[in-house]
Amino acid sequence: MSDEPSNVNTDLFKNIERLRRLRIEHRDLDDIISRLTMDFKVDEVQMKRLKKRKLLLKDQIARLESQLIPDLNA
């Protein structure tokens, strides 16, 4: 008996959970950035770092979503 289906389900669950955490972090960063843009004393370096992190998360989310979509040619 093979553990392959079990491993596939475990990996799928881990990827879905990771995707959920990335989306939450992305949303939280969006909220932080929105609030900071209202402050005229905002640290521009900090703002750039937050935006860069948000873009990195967006790329990770897109890559993970792409991996979760089944290949229709398979």
Rama region for 43: left / alpha / beta (φ>0; ψ in -120 to 50; rest): beta
Number of H-type helices and E-type strands within the chain: 2, 0
φ/ψ of 24, rounded to 5, equals: -65, -45
φ/ψ of 70, rounded to 5, equals: -65, 145
* 3-7, 47-51, 60-64, range with the lowest pLDDT: 3-7
> For the chain, what is the radius of gyration of the CA atoms?
18
The predicted-structure confidence for 3-34, as pLDDT tens digits, reads as follows: 566 777 888 899 999 999 999 999 999 999 99
Cα separation, 22 vs 36, in Å, equals 21
Q: Please state the pTM of the whole predicted model.
A: 0.79
